[in-house]
Amino acid sequence: MSETLKKKLPSSDPKMTKPTRDTIISPPTGVFVPVPTFFQPASNNTLQAKIDVETQVKHSVYLARNGIRGLVLLGSTGEAIHLSREERFELISSVRKGLNDAGFLDYPIMAGVLINSVDEALEWLQDFSRAGAQWGLVLAPGYFGLAVNQENIKDWYTVVADNSPMPILIYNYPGVTNQIIVTPETYTHLAQHPNIVGCKMSHGNVSYHVQVSLDPEIDHDKFRVYSGFGQQLGPIVFFGAAGVIDGLAAMYPRTLSRLMDMAEKRPIEPKTLKEIQAIQFAVSRAEEFIGKWGIVGIKEGVYRVLGMGTLEGGRLPLRGKLPEGEWDKWEAITSRMKALEDAQ
């Protein structure tokens, strides 16, 4: 680690400057991309592949130029758990600088916090705030799975939010947290906290999306609801959700952005509704690829569609690529998405 980076990182017990009610800003509505973390080609001289900051910045700027309203760095797709503290700081600060240099000042960045310890969650948030992120996307603490009750989830998020140097969002992804589900009642409670400004639900329970998005006890200008699945975009935005944080948009940003732009307009004319339905059909079909192949599939898709990154996949244990011929099996779906993307 460079001496410059060491000086920027806070100590292990930082004195945090907490945001005040007047300085708290909620994230915008729209499509956010949970960007993958790019790595350089593997080398026999290193324990694991190094992060590829140049490609990371290039991809982020491309998304900003093509309609994406914000980024999620170092979320689950970004493999935050596979990076060191120094790498996480370098990645966020480099993307922030790259966006600024490209003219995207104050471009929205959420940063993933994927740790169960309150102290370490606050350490990550402090680092990310100094690196240039505006919000922390904080994963529900699920190591102990079903042993965790809703009251303890409320208390855990309250302690983190009370002490976080920036606003946070609740991140519920049962697939990586031993099937923890945050209930609508818990969201209603936590949405009252001034430093909790939204949530991401990465599960298929659309009823929960709708309940939280329409809850009259929640200030929806302040507390924003996002899905982790693009196949839910049209339906949940129609019923009040703020948007999606979606991996398919890493490859086809203009198409997902177009879908979002039309879905949030009111009233929806019959001609517009027909286009929404056509794009949503194509997106939902393409999301089957994301659901099957996850991070490895997203990285290969970005490489094949945009020519960015490599076919190396992620870091161990996710290193690898699609089986031979697998991408070709999805040709009918990817061709439809390419035609939509080119038309935007």
Residue 168 identity: I
Predicted confidence (pLDDT) per residue in 167-192, tens digit: 999 999 999 999 999 999 999 999 99
Three-state secondary structure call for residue 111: strand
DSSP for 263-297 reads HT-SS--HHHHHHHHHHHHHHHHHHHHHHHHHHHH
Q: How far is CA 306 from CA 27, 81, 310, in A?
A: 27, 26, 11
For the domain made up of 25-343, give the CATH fold.
TIM Barrel (3.20.20)
CA angle 304, 310, 316 (to 5 degrees): 125
Structure token digits, residue 109? 């960045």
**Band of residue 145 on the pLDDT scale cut at 50, 70, 90:** confident
Closest to 301 measured CA to CA, from 311, 291, 314: 311
**Band of residue 44 on the pLDDT scale cut at 50, 70, 90:** low
Structure token digits, residue 276? 């929404």
Of residues 200, 222, 321, 329, which has the active-site annotation?
A: 200
Whether residue 321 lies in the annotated active site:
no
Residue 196 identity: I
- Average the pLDDT over 119-131 and give the result: 98
How far is it, in rounded angstroms, from Cα 334 to Cα 313? 19
Q: Where are the alpha helices (DSSP H) in 192-330?
A: 206-214, 233-238, 253-263, 270-306, 326-329
How far is it, in rounded angstroms, from Cα 151 to Cα 149? 6
What's the pTM? Answer: 0.92
Whether the per-residue pLDDT at 158 is higher than 60: the answer is yes
Predicted confidence (pLDDT) per residue in 18-39, tens digit: 666 667 899 999 999 999 999 9
Closest to 294 measured CA to CA, from 136, 92, 75, 89: 75
Residue 99 identity: L
Strand partners of residue 31: 244
Closest to 273 measured CA to CA, from 230, 240, 237: 237
Whether the per-residue pLDDT at 5 is higher than 70: the answer is no
Are the beta carbons of 294 and 326 closer than 8 angstroms?
A: no
Q: Which sequence spans correspond to the domains of the chain?
A: 25-343
What DSSP state is assigned to residue 81? Answer: G
**Band of residue 7 on the pLDDT scale cut at 50, 70, 90:** low
Whether the per-residue pLDDT at 105 is higher than 90: the answer is yes
